[in-house]
A and B are shown apart, each in its own frame.
Chain A
Amino acid sequence: MTSATIAGPRDYLQAQMRWRWGEIAFWLATLLPFIVTPDYLLLASQVAIAALFVLSLDLILGFAGIVSLGHAAYFGVGAYTAGLISKWGWGEPLTGLLIAALAAGVFGYLTSFIVARFRHLPLIMITLGIGLLLQEAANSASWLTGGFDGLQGIHTWPIAGRFRFDLYGYTAYGYALAALFVIFLGARRLIHSPFGLALRGIRDNSQRMRAIGASTHSHIRTIYTIAAMIAGIAGAILAQSTETVSLEVLGFQRSADVLVMLILGGTGRLYGGLLGAIVYMVARDQFSGLNPQYWYFWIGLLLIGVVVVLPNGLLGGLALLTGRSKAAS
């Protein structure tokens, strides 16, 4: 008994970060599209890219409580950077990805100084402003970005000189999934670190954070930069796998979509965003096949339904169910 209480605090924390069976099953299931639905690999790659993008938003919104309506800015910087490098003659995807991450990270770091100073409604307006500014800048700099016509002439070299980006999306999905998994591992590590705890502290009560001597601004700058890099990587993968970049990558619609996916799935749980991305992208694919003009109607209905019935998103609802069944047994 005494030994149990002495070992208590660390054991409990250790148990918190242990891999669960559900997680392993989830990641094994991500391989299923290769076998079960090979016709949908292009969609699967889009889902993986969206999931990566949502993951980056979850790190700032779900963990640090930074609401953003302009997160596409960093996605777009990554996409254009990767596209431009390729257009200028360097089509190697992995280095392209790194440079895109760096560019988005630098932009994220610069903007984080403004972002860290605000919260709530002003913050939403500021992130919205950053997104709009960047889209207009990209539009007017058509000599660089191709403007409204999009960036043409991207050619992505085969990964490691072997895996060509094929029409069916085998390489695209494999590439996006690998990036998602590696970055997810990093994000999972981050949320179980002292820094991850500090982010949850900021989300819960930033005034108290200052009262325990925390520099909340520097924490926010760090996570905002990391999230911007991840968003940039997601954008870069889109540019590299589709070999085109349009202004839409910077659009408000994309910022709104990613927020919807995260809220749909559940914030602050990492997997919530992934689930949200899957449900949203698949639903969009199905609904737009069903009713091409009005598919946002169904998305709207889904969003309202989920938020009303499951305030913590789909994953929150699942956790509630499993929690109840555990309590019952």
Chain B
Amino acid sequence: MSESALAARGINKRFGSLVVAADVDLTLPPGARYALIGPNGAGKTTLINLMTGMLRPDAGQILLGGEDVTALAAEDRVRRGLARTFQINSLFPHLTALESVILAVCERRRVAQAWWRRLIAYREEIDEAHQILGALMLDAVCHRPARELAYGQQRLLEIALALASRPKVLLLDEPAAGVPRDESNELFAAIAGLSRDITVLFIEHDMELVFRFAARVIVMVGGSILLEGTPAEIAADPQVRAVYLGKTPRGLRNG
């Protein structure tokens, strides 16, 4: 058990008669670089919502670092080191990029309740936030409100906010969704450059990116996990090809 950074055990979830997670078992070892793929509606985002506590499973357990966190609220899981990003930008539109990340750092350090001290006095928090933005090449635009940033920069800010909570496990929901190809490479290079202490699972549709950046791939279909394996195994699997309607997904040959 202690060998997993994050694990799901027998997770079930249904919305009415629609089964969105059926006996999902998943284990992310520490330092993993896993991709989660599958057709639209396979339940990938739902699985992230279940693991991060945004949704409650009907049955099953979520283990974070071997500890059962199934009963914990989403914010408490974040405090224990489980962070995520959103497929559709979920930022603070009126806060500047710097303010947004300072806020996340302050929340992690439990100083966000302090209303009698000026923000400017929190030098370490401000410097740390600035450093996180710098590492993602956002320092030049750090005083712009999030809503005024270019789309690609907003995707990076999503990641910056997640990193500010110093996660042990990071779940990225289509980090490059809607980002032009050349920029998505840069974005994934930033993700690949993350410390090996951080366990990463990302959802991605672009197979080229998946095969380049993931050590292992999990394929999800209809709320359950179809297959898990190395990119080469996944590329060679006839079932996966069938799922993708018999077509060879873009980039699959490169695997």
Hey, which bits of chain A sit against chain B, CB under 8 A? 5, 8-10, 12-14, 17, 189-190, 192-198, 200-201, 203-205, 207-216, 218-219, 222, 226
Q: Contact: B106 with A204, CB < 8 Å?
A: no
How long is the Cα–Cα vector from A14 to B121 in the complex, in angstroms?
10
**Interface assignment of B205: CB less than 8 Å from any CB of chain A:** no
Query: Nearest B residue to A199 by beta-carbon distance?
Result: B115
The residues of B that contact A189 with a CB separation of less than 8 Å are 115-116, 118
Q: Contact: A194 with B112, CB < 8 Å?
A: yes
Given A194-B106, A198-B103 in contact, is the A9-B78 Cβ separation under 8 Å? no
Query: Nearest B residue to A203 by beta-carbon distance?
Result: B94
Given A12-B143, A200-B94 in contact, is the A190-B164 Cβ separation under 8 Å? no
How long is the Cα–Cα vector from A226 to B76 in the complex, in angstroms?
25
Q: Contact: A192 with B78, CB < 8 Å?
A: no
- Return A152 CB to nearest CB of chain B, in Å: 39
Proximity string of chain B (95-116) to chain A, C-beta cutoff 8 Å, 1 when within and 0 when not: 1001110111011100111111
- Return A205 CB to nearest CB of chain B, in Å: 5
The residues of A that contact B218 with a CB separation of less than 8 Å are none
Q: Contact: A204 with B126, CB < 8 Å?
A: no
How long is the Cα–Cα vector from A67 to B107 in the complex, in angstroms?
24
How long is the Cα–Cα vector from A256 to B94 in the complex, in angstroms?
27
How long is the Cα–Cα vector from A190 to B165 in the complex, in angstroms?
23
Of the listed residues B75, B95, B122, B127, the one surrounded by the most CB atoms of chain A closer than 10 A to its CB is B75
Give the segment of B4-12, B84-92, B229-237 that binds chain A.
Answer: B84-92
Of the listed residues A8, A198, A204, A212, the one surrounded by the most CB atoms of chain B closer than 10 A to its CB is A212
Given A201-B92, A204-B94 in contact, is the A193-B118 Cβ separation under 8 Å? yes
Categorize the interface residue count of chain B. 35 or more
Q: Contact: B118 with A219, CB < 8 Å?
A: no
How long is the Cα–Cα vector from A187 to B108 in the complex, in angstroms?
24
The residues of A that contact B91 with a CB separation of less than 8 Å are 204-205, 208
Of the listed residues B79, B100, B162, the one surrounded by the most CB atoms of chain A closer than 10 A to its CB is B100
Query: Nearest A residue to B117 by beta-carbon distance?
Result: A193
The residues of A that contact B122 with a CB separation of less than 8 Å are 194
Return the contact of B75 from the options A5, A17, A196, A215 (Cβ within 8 A): A215
**Interface assignment of B83: CB less than 8 Å from any CB of chain A:** yes
Q: Pick 16 A–B contacts, CB within 8 A, sort by A.
A: A8-B142, A9-B126, A12-B143, A190-B116, A192-B120, A193-B116, A198-B103, A198-B106, A207-B90, A209-B75, A211-B162, A212-B165, A213-B76, A213-B78, A215-B75, A219-B112
- Return B95 CB to nearest CB of chain A, in Å: 6
The 5 closest A-B pairs by CB, nearest first: A213-B78, A195-B115, A204-B92, A212-B104, A198-B112
Query: Nearest A residue to B101 by beta-carbon distance?
Result: A212
The residues of A that contact B107 with a CB separation of less than 8 Å are 198, 209, 212-214
- Return A83 CB to nearest CB of chain B, in Å: 30
Query: Nearest A residue to B167 by beta-carbon distance?
Result: A213
Return the contact of B111 from the options A190, A194, A196, A207 (Cβ within 8 A): A194
**Interface assignment of B93: CB less than 8 Å from any CB of chain A:** yes
The residues of A that contact B100 with a CB separation of less than 8 Å are 201
Return the contact of B103 from the options A201, A215, A222 (Cβ within 8 A): A201
Of the listed residues A9, A10, A218, the one surrounded by the most CB atoms of chain B closer than 10 A to its CB is A9
The residues of B that contact A14 with a CB separation of less than 8 Å are 120
Q: Contact: B119 with A196, CB < 8 Å?
A: yes
Q: Contact: B90 with A208, CB < 8 Å?
A: yes
The residues of A that contact B203 with a CB separation of less than 8 Å are none
Q: Contact: A210 with B75, CB < 8 Å?
A: yes
Return the contact of A197 from the options B54, B74, B108, B112 (Cβ within 8 A): B112
**Interface assignment of B50: CB less than 8 Å from any CB of chain A:** no
How long is the Cα–Cα vector from A83 to B14 in the complex, in angstroms?
57
- Return B97 CB to nearest CB of chain A, in Å: 10
Q: Contact: B92 with A200, CB < 8 Å?
A: yes
Given A197-B106, A212-B164 in contact, is the A205-B143 Cβ separation under 8 Å? no
**Interface assignment of B45: CB less than 8 Å from any CB of chain A:** no
The residues of A that contact B130 with a CB separation of less than 8 Å are 8-9
How long is the Cα–Cα vector from A192 to B118 in the complex, in angstroms?
6
The residues of A that contact B118 with a CB separation of less than 8 Å are 17, 189, 192-193
The residues of A that contact B123 with a CB separation of less than 8 Å are 10
Query: Nearest B residue to A12 by beta-carbon distance?
Result: B143
- Return A327 CB to nearest CB of chain B, in Å: 16
The residues of B that contact A194 with a CB separation of less than 8 Å are 102-103, 106, 111-115, 117, 119, 122, 125
Of the listed residues B78, B91, B112, B114, the one surrounded by the most CB atoms of chain A closer than 10 A to its CB is B112
Proximity string of chain B (62-90) to chain A, C-beta cutoff 8 Å, 1 when within and 0 when not: 00000000000111101100011010001
How long is the Cα–Cα vector from A222 to B113 in the complex, in angstroms?
8
Q: Contact: B84 with A13, CB < 8 Å?
A: no
Q: Contact: A193 with B114, CB < 8 Å?
A: yes
Q: Contact: B78 with A211, CB < 8 Å?
A: yes
- Return A108 CB to nearest CB of chain B, in Å: 15
Q: Contact: A210 with B78, CB < 8 Å?
A: yes
Q: Contact: A205 with B93, CB < 8 Å?
A: yes
**Interface assignment of B224: CB less than 8 Å from any CB of chain A:** no
Query: Nearest B residue to A14 by beta-carbon distance?
Result: B120
Of the listed residues B92, B98, B165, the one surrounded by the most CB atoms of chain A closer than 10 A to its CB is B92
